[in-house]
Structure 1
């Protein structure tokens, strides 16, 4: 897969999502959660970093990783958007943007 505009956008969305997820994770450390937030943030940040790396090197499995990344991002968004915290709302929005960008590349 050659580096295209959509893959560059996806790499950027993945990097931003990973950072936003880590911010949410840190903010949630001392807060109660009745769902998978902040655990989802840790998993999402990891897959986003992997996805960005795989796409940057035109990895053989980058499209499959993009599909998985979109799935994890959507799961994380579902968990975070339940909370009223600003950092959770910001994380959910970033996850949705990343999922959309990954789905575009994986299609």
Structure 2
């Protein structure tokens, strides 16, 4: 059975799951690239790593329809927004792209928290 055939998720939840997994990938890439940028990137790296873990966990909670996914969605949205704010302060392409992906993820997570 292909994952696209799993139909127990609403369209909104499926979109949020996809956005969370994309955010995790962007954050892992950004954190790794920031490690090569030198001093001043520690906060960006830490936030990216936190968001990668949170968004992955949130996606897993949504897929298994955890009763806690809405509460985690709010935390995930807050973390995505804080990380995006940090990434936007850096001129690196990886930070700018990461911030863009995180804004979209935060938006869909907010919808899941509502």
TM-score band (shorter)?
Answer: over 0.9
Matched with 1:54 is 61
Larger radius of gyration: 2
Query: Is 1:29 the equivalent of 2:32?
Result: no
Query: Could you list the per-position Cα deviations for residues 26-71 of structure 1 after superposition, in whole angstroms to 9, with x for gaps in the alignment?
Result: 1011222266111100000000000000000000100000010000
- TM-score of the pair, normalised by structure 2: 0.89
* 1:35–1:79 CA contact under 8 A, matched in 2: no
Matched with 2:49 is 42
How far apart, in 1, do the equivalents of 2:23 and 2:93 lie?
A: 15
Matched with 1:73 is 80
How far apart, in 1, do the equivalents of 2:42 and 2:78 lie?
A: 17
* 2:17–2:59 CA contact under 8 A, matched in 1: yes
* 2:35–2:41 CA contact under 8 A, matched in 1: no
What residue ranges of structure 1 are gaps of 5+ in the alignment?
none
CA root-mean-square deviation: 1.2
- TM-score of the pair, normalised by structure 1: 0.95
SS at match of 1:38: helix
Give the number of equivalent residue pairs.
106
For residue 22 of structure 1, report the CA deviation from its aligned partner. Answer: 0.3
* 2:80–2:106 CA contact under 8 A, matched in 1: yes
